[in-house]
Each structure stands twice: as structure tokens, then as C-alpha cells.
Amino acid sequence: MSKFEKKQIIKKSVDPDRWYTDVILRGELADYSPVKGCMIIRPYGYELWEFIQSYLDGKFKELGVKNAYFPLFIPNGFLKREKEHVEGFSPQLAVVTVGGGEKLSEPLVVRPTSETIMYDTYSRWIQSWRDLPLLLNLWNNVVRWEKRTYLFLRTTEFLWQEGHTAHATFEDADNFARKILSIYEKFDEEVLAIPVIVGRKSESEKFPGAAITYSLESLMPDGRAIQMGTSHHLGDNFAKAFNIKYLDKNGKQQYVWQTSWAETTRVIGALIMSHGDDQGLVLPPAIAPIQVVIVPIKSEEKVLKYCRSLEKELRGAGIKIFLDDREEKTVGWKFNEWELKGVPVRIEVGVKEIEAGELTVCRRDINSKLKIQMSRLSGGQANVKSEIVNLLTDIQKNLFEKMKKFRDENTHDVSTFEEFKGIMSGKKGFIRAFWCQNKECEKRIKDETKATTRVLPLNAKKENGNCIYCAKPAQYRWLFAQAY
């Protein structure tokens, strides 16, 4: 047992930051690594990542995307080919200068992202319009040397997927980048039960080297924002830097138009913060490694026989279920463990339940108990199986609606900078405010309030207003927040 697992979990309402770390360590999602800034993802946490991989991988493949792998090490010179790209990543690079006991003739960068090494290859793979579109995705790890780290949310090494595509036209690339956004949005909202706002990043906040960066932003219970995923329209910037050209149908040489897009293990951090409570994790059924746990109150054969029968029936309904018949653990210990790990539904079965003909069912999202008649197990429209399936559906919906209500109640339209500063010095939240899109105003707002431009929502309407900071004419209300 890790020394961290012996710590008690502080209440979320008392110290959210410490609670977050306590839940991860005690809930066996991750542990600290001997390497500062890195983390060990434990099996329970990795099961979440495996589901994320499975879900997104299937959706990408429906669009014709194929998986590939590129090396971890990138020649240092590659990063220098695109000026904005190297400037954006230079402070975070890990560089290898010695290999095999000898000084390398050219330093190698440990992969912070794969654009450069992939696009050098794309310049050889793409020759004709027949080679387009090229749609590839990688499941890998990347290293970005962070000064301040936070389990799952910001670590020196993290896992992600990074997609990289090449297209014949600007419009084709933009359409594809938006299709990826739709996949991310559906995943975030329907699986993670986290509502997101989709929009375009400002010039200062966009990905280094991109023409347009689209992002999905969510609001956490502490009033700060998390970027859940990004989809970048790279324009032809990298194509020109890496000489990626194709011969079009008219026999003319053209530069390709590209996209890159990613979601990372950061979304697991957002999942923890969004739904967890003073008792620990609260996992949406759609992603929970265990959706229902059955706990026998006593290890009597009559009780265990019934539990095994119930387990078989629920598993047959496609429910991810675990029968906790461990004799070395007390019932109270089991209750606490499964509450801490956020299992959506716990079913308690004892002699009393069997004699009374009803099950005691605990739903984790609202920490309440209800009774389900056992007699409905065999036959009837409202049997236990259908009631548990309906309960899981209701829990999933409730968690999303709860977060959406919180976000809506903490999204503020402001017309003065004094209002803006007042909100940011208090509960924080999302702020919708006119901004003239001048970088100097953006920087001063951040310096004075710690709030950054998150996105211009895709559904933003053109209006007549004045910049929240300089009062010059502005046409759109941008979304601001303090971010992780």
C-alpha cells in the first residue's frame, strides 16, 4: 500500500485542491512517480483512459482516420522550420544531447507534439491529389517540461491522441476540423457528462503555428475553466515549412491544407473535479469501469446464491458489474471503498432483503437509497434489470444537468471592467464580454484579473458594443475565465 493511500480524504467543500489529490491517490486512479512532474496511472485510472481510447478511436475510424506511430525523438532542426511553433514550445522542451555515451551531432527533442516529424514524412508521402486526404491519428505520450504540475491536469509526461490530416483545400480542412469538434463535444457531454462551450481561440491563445484553433471549454466547480480538447486548422503554414505539395487535377503544384487535433488524460482530471463530492469520486455510468457493485451483507450461501444470480442477469443486460464477495473485508469497508471510487449504483443483499422480497439500491450521484422489489426479477415489464438500466440512465442525465445548471448560473454578461474584476476576485466563472481583439487589451485583462480569453463561441452573434477594457468598438462577446 502506498503511503499516500493512508491519508484521510479532506472534504471537497473545505479544501478542493487537497481533496482532488486525496481522491486520486486513495481512489487508486494514480500515484506519484519517482520522476518529478510525472505520474503513474493505476489500473482503475487506466480503465478510464482505455474507454476514452476505445470510444474516440471508433469515432475517428468512422471518418476514415487510420492509426499510425511515429518516433519519440525528433531532430532539433525540425522544430525550427516553423517559427511560431518552435517559439511556442521552446520553454517546455526536453532535449537529448548524449546517446550511447557519445555527444550527438544534432540534439534530439523528446516529442512535445508530432507535427514536425510527421510533416517531414508527409512531404514524401503526398505527391498527387490522389493521395488526399491523408487522415492519420496517433495514440502516444508526449513530454512538456512543466514547472508546476497537477495530477492528470498538468504533468510533464501525459497520454493523448493527436490527429494529423492533409487536404486539398482550405474548406476541406476546416470542415474536417469541425467534424472532430463534434466528436469531442458529444463525448464530453454524453459520456463524461460535462457541458462544453465550443468556439475559436484568439490569436494569442491559439496553437503555435495554426491558422485557427477551435476549442471546447468547460467550467469546473471552483469557477475556473478547463480546455477539454482542441482542433486546429493549420492552414498551409506547415505545408510551406515542410514543402508538402501535391499535383492537382489541372497539373499544377499546390500546398496542402492541414489539421491537427487532440484530447488528453486531462479530461480525467476534469471528470474528477466536475462530479466528485466529499465522499470521493462520482463517475457517470457511461464511463465508469464498474457501473453496479453487488455487496452481500452476509456470506451465507442463500445470500451468495441470489447475488450470483443477480450478477448474471445484470451482466446479460450489458451492465459492467462486480460482485464484491471478498470475505477479508467488512461490509462497512466495502461501502466506503465503492463510494470513494464513485461506482454509480450499489446493491445491498442480505437475509433481511431476501425475506422482505426487495433489494436496497444506493445511487451514488445523490447519495440516496431506494427499494426494488425482488419479485420482479423473473418476468414483468418492470423487472430489476430494466429498473437498474433506467436508474443508470437517470444518473447519467442528472450529472450532466447538474453541471449545466452550475455553468449557466455562473456565466455572467458584464458591461464594465469593474463588474469583470468583481466577479474574478470572487466566485469567478465564465464571463461574456465585448473585446476589441487587441492583444494589448487581452494582456492587460489577464495581468489584472488572471482571466484569459477562452473562446469566441461558434454561435456568437455579431453585435455593436464597446471593449470591456479600452471601450473601443467591438462586435462580439468573447468568453473569459481563469483557466487551469
Q: Measuring CA to CA, how many Å separate 287 from each of 35, 257, 342?
A: 29, 35, 11
pLDDT of residue 354: 85
The alpha carbons of the chain give a radius of gyration, in whole angstroms, of: 25
Same domain, 124 and 41: yes
- CA within 13 Å, CB half, 11: 2
- CA within 13 Å, CB half, 208: 19
Same domain, 201 and 331: no
Same domain, 310 and 368: yes
State CA 376 to chain mean position distance.
39
For Cα atoms 349, 355, 359, give the angle at the middle one, nearest 5 degrees. Answer: 35
Is 162 contained in some domain? yes
Same domain, 312 and 241: no
pLDDT of residue 202: 97
Is 401 contained in some domain? no
Closest listed residue to residue 158, CA positions, set 271, 262, 77, 65: 262
Grid coordinates 512535445 are at which residue?
Answer: 112
Same domain, 254 and 108: yes
Is 82 contained in some domain? yes
Closest listed residue to residue 346, CA positions, set 408, 282, 287, 427: 282
Same domain, 196 and 334: no
Same domain, 139 and 242: yes
Same domain, 232 and 312: no
Is 212 contained in some domain? yes
State CA 291 to chain mean position distance.
20
Same domain, 435 and 473: yes
Grid coordinates 437509497 are at which residue?
Answer: 369
CATH code: domain of residue 41: 3.30.930.10
Ramachandran region of residue 288, left (φ > 0), alpha (ψ -120 to 50) or beta?
Answer: beta
Same domain, 266 and 208: yes
Counting as low any pLDDT under 50, the low residues of the chain are 1-7, 376-382
User: Domains in the chain: how many in total?
Assistant: 3
Is 99 contained in some domain? yes
For residue 337, the enclosing domain spans 292-392
Is 287 contained in some domain? no
The burial class, CB within 10 Å (0-12 / 13-18 / 19+), for 6 is exposed
Closest listed residue to residue 458, CA positions, set 266, 212, 168, 210: 212
Is 143 contained in some domain? yes
pTM for this entry:
0.93
Same domain, 307 and 221: no
Same domain, 378 and 425: no
Is 321 contained in some domain? yes
